[in-house]
Structure 1
Amino acid sequence: MKQPIFVSAMVNGLLVAVAAITLFPLLWMLSVSLMAPGEASNYPPPLLPAHPSLNNYRELFAHAGMGRYLANSFALATAATVISLTFNVMAGYAFAKLRFAGRERLFRVLLASLVIPAQVAMLPLFLMLKYLGLVNTYGGVIVPALAGIFGIFLVRQYALTIPDDLLEAARIDGAGEWRIFAVIVLPVLKPILVTLAIFTFLATWNDFMWPLIVLTDKDLYTLPVALAALSREHVQDNEMMMAGSVVTVLPVLLLFLVLQRYYIQGLLLGSVKG
């Protein structure tokens, strides 16, 4: 009996140590954001602020315009998530359950394009958006996220688990394809939809390279781009930069914590059914 208890204690101790190592940078970032200017530059660096203060956050929102950039990121990530889910779910369901000419061949072509690095497609994509007049607009940021190959693949694999007999029974009862999709398919796909929504929202919120390329107007900047621009203006102000990092990380961290039950459920169900 003692050996299992010892093993359990060792495993739990190791997990606690790993969790502490993982959380330490986030906690220290929060601690530095509450320090006075220049305090974090002392040697050795202090772990806790001598006199905690929210002055760095007040400076960010009062003079650096962080509130506007926060609203920009939230609106952009929300719109991209909703639109991307709409296209990905319909396309994934079509590839899984609807019969049309060239379905398997087209899906294999989509999968093959996954091996192409995103950086390779940035130049032709930018030129295409420039031709459409979408450069320096939020449309230029959202269009590349309209339908992701990974999202289509994820929904398709999950939709394959829906019994064909269930769909055929609904058709025999006179239900149209749109009603079947809304009443039967969407409720079944709920766990994977939440998982895909979290993926898309986090990817859009944290994306730095593409908004940096497409957006030239400072008023349209997202949080990561604005924080990078701010760091060039306040090179030595580590405390303010950490405060900006907290503002950038905190919303998506809270979102993940609130929805983690559905996220884990979607991953587990997908692994079991797949």
Structure 2
Amino acid sequence: MESMARPNTAVKIILVLMLLFIAVIALFPFFALLLASFKPSTELLRYGLNLKLQAHLLSFKNYIYLFQEGAKYLIWYKNSLVITIVGTILSLFFSSMVGYALAVYDFKGKNVVFILVLAVMMIPMEILMLPLYKLMVSFKMINTYWGVIVPIMVAPVAIFFFRQYALGLPKELLDAARIDGCSEFRIFFNIMVPLMKPAFGAMAILQAMGYWNSFLWPTVILRTEDMFTLPIGLSGLLTPYGNNYDILISGSLLTILPIIILFIFFQRYFISGLTVGGVKG
């Protein structure tokens, strides 16, 4: 028994060392960015991103500039947070209801609706941009938060994911709730939503990342600098007249924090939501 346990222990140690090595490689860009955020732009232009720890070059000047002289940065951060939080909540709410309805109810045209959802998933955003822009103009949503949120609020990918997940939920609970006199909305919010927590956790991360990192559509909709999101505002630091790489790297590094916090909060649901939701149906 001891001879069998030793090989297993050795295999585990080797696997742990391999995973640590892969983790170090994966985190190398992050460490390089973290170190570069404390360096002056001249050093970055001369040597690029590296892990050279030169204490005399490190300072908090880039971050001080962002929060004091670069006052627009905080406005961009606020705009990105508002759009991401509101857009993610509304996307989860409506997409889950549509996906749940397609999975649970039988109605005329159900398959047609589902095929349309799959079709929209295959159409690139660039093709839909012009008609969506005209729609936002008619709704007077140009240069507003809603102009960024509404067109991608009900995501086809999220609808498909929630449908696949809801197909695996026990239908007996629905029948029992209806016998007890529960309304369809109460069944959904009180019974089905708690069962779909892994799906909500996975989609919360993916949808929030989509809104947070979105660049092309907000660039089309948002006009004034006070309405810019972080990707648009930071991209303005690179101009033909000068490239503020030090400020750009520092500002970009801080944009990672909300996504990290979100992933830590929903990580227990993320993997289970993706695996279970991906095999149902």
| Conserved 8 A contact 1:208-1:224 | yes
* The one of 164, 169, 179 aligned to 1:162: 169
Note if contact 2:237-2:243 (Cα within 8 Å) is conserved in structure 1.
no
Q: Residues of 2 paired with 1:20 and 1:197: CA distance? A: 27
Aligned to 2:110: 103
1:178 corresponds to which of 182, 185, 192 = 185
> Using a 3 Å threshold, how does the CA distance of structure 1 residues 222 and 45 change in structure 2: closer, same or farther?
closer
1:36 positional shift: 3.2
The match for 1:217 is 224
State the distance in 1 between where 2:249 and 2:241 align.
12
Paired position in structure 2 for 1:269: 276
Q: Which amino acid aligns with 1:39?
A: E
* Deviations 1:138-187, CA, capped at 9 Å, x for gaps: 11100112201111111111111122221011111111111111111111
Asked whether the equivalents of residues 224 and 248 of structure 1 are also in contact (C-alpha less than 8 Å), the reply is no
Aligned-partner Cα distance in 2 for 1:45–1:89: 42
* Aligned counterpart, 2:69: 63
Corresponding residue for 1:72?
79
Which range is displaced more, 92-101 or 232-241?
Answer: 232-241
Q: How many residues align?
A: 274
Paired amino acid for 1:133: K
Partner of 1:41: 45
* TM-score calculated relative to the size of structure 1: 0.92
Contact 2:161–2:278 under 8 Å retained in 1: no
Shift of 1:89: 1.1
Aligned partners of 2:242 and 2:266: how far apart in 1? 36
Q: 1:234 to 1:170 in 2, by over 3 A?
A: farther
Which piece of structure 1 moves more, 203-212 or 157-166?
157-166
After superposing the two structures, state which structure 1 stretch, 114-123 or 37-46, moved more.
37-46
Q: Distance in 2 between matches of 1:116 and 1:14?
A: 40
Answer yes or no: is the 8 Å Cα contact 2:67–2:74 preserved in 1: yes
Residues 36, 49 of structure 2: 8 Å contact kept: no
Identity %: 39
- 1:28 alignment partner in structure 2: 32
Q: Distance in 2 between matches of 1:42 and 1:105?
A: 58
- Identify if the C-alpha distance between structure 1 residues 49 and 213 changes in structure 2 by more than 3 Å, giving closer, same or farther: farther
Distance verdict in 2 for CA 1:45–1:184, change over 3 Å: closer
Of residues 247-256 and 44-53 in structure 1, the stretch that sits farther from structure 2 once superposed is 44-53
Q: Are 2:217 and 1:203 aligned?
A: no
Q: Which of 17, 28, 40 is the equivalent residue of 1:13?
A: 17
Shift in alpha-carbon separation, 1:231–1:61, aligned structure 2, 3 A: farther
Is residue 38–residue 238 contact of structure 1 (8 Å, CA) maintained in 2?
Answer: no
The change in CA–CA distance for 1:56 and 1:256 in structure 2 (over 3 A counts) is same
CA deviations over 1:7-61 (Å, ceiling 9, x no partner): 4444333322221111111111011111234222334765224233221011012
Match of 2:55 among 39, 44, 50: 50
The Cα RMSD (Å) is: 2.0
- Do the aligned residues in 2 keep the contact of 1:215 with 1:221 (CA within 8 Å)? yes
Q: Secondary structure at the match of 1:38?
A: helix
CA distance in 1, matches of 2:167, 2:86: 28
- Between 174-183 and 230-239, the greater mean CA deviation after superposition: 230-239
